[in-house]
C-alpha cells in the first residue's frame, strides 16, 4: 500500500484496525489519536519525547525497546532520557520476535 494510499485513507485504515504494529513512525501517533491499539517498537531515539507514551494518556500502547533500555525503563527513566535524548545507537532488529509476539498477544487480549 506504500505510495498508493493518501493520508486520509491511511487514517481510515488505522482507525478501523484492531491493532497496529509499527516502529517509530507517524502510524503509531495516528493510531494513538484514533484510539487504536498499538505495539510500538522503538530504538530509543529521543527517549521520553516520542515514546514511551505516558501510562495515564493511553492504555492501548504496548511498547518495546532493545533490552538495554527495557532493563532500566522502570528504574532509571531519567538516565535513559538523558542518554538517549537525541539518538540511540541501538538497533530495532535487536528486539526479539518472541517479545513482539508476546506484546501482540497481550494487546489482543485487552
| pLDDT tens per residue, range 10-45 | 999 999 999 999 997 889 999 999 999 999 999 999
More confident position, 57 or 17: 17
pTM, two decimal places: 0.86
Q: In the predicted model, is pLDDT for residue 100 greater than 80?
A: yes
Average pLDDT over residues 59-75: 94
Q: In the predicted model, is pLDDT for residue 56 greater than 80?
A: no
Q: In the predicted model, is pLDDT for residue 57 greater than 80?
A: no
Q: How much is the pLDDT for 2? A: 76
Distances (CA, A) of 77 to 13, 24, 52, 53, 59: 34, 19, 10, 13, 19
Q: Which of 28, 9, 27, 40 is nearest to 107 (CA)?
A: 40
Query: Across-strand partners of 63?
Result: 40
Amino acid at each position: 500500500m506504500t505510495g498508493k494510499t493518501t493520508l486520509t485513507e491511511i487514517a481510515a485504515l488505522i482507525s478501523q484496525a484492531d491493532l497496529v504494529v509499527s516502529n517509530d513512525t507517524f502510524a503509531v501517533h495516528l493510531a494513538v489519536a484514533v484510539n487504536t491499539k498499538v505495539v510500538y517498537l522503538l530504538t530509543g531515539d529521543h527517549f521520553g519525547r516520542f515514546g514511551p507514551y505516558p501510562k495515564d494518556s493511553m492504555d492501548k500502547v504496548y511498547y518495546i525497546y532493545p533490552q538495554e533500555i527495557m532493563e532500566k525503563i522502570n528504574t532509571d527513566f531519567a538516565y535513559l532520557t538523558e542518554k538517549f535524548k537525541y539518538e540511540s545507537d541501538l538497533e530495532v532488529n535487536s528486539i526479539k520476535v518472541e517479545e513482539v509476539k508476546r506484546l501482540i498477544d497481550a494487546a489482543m487480549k485487552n
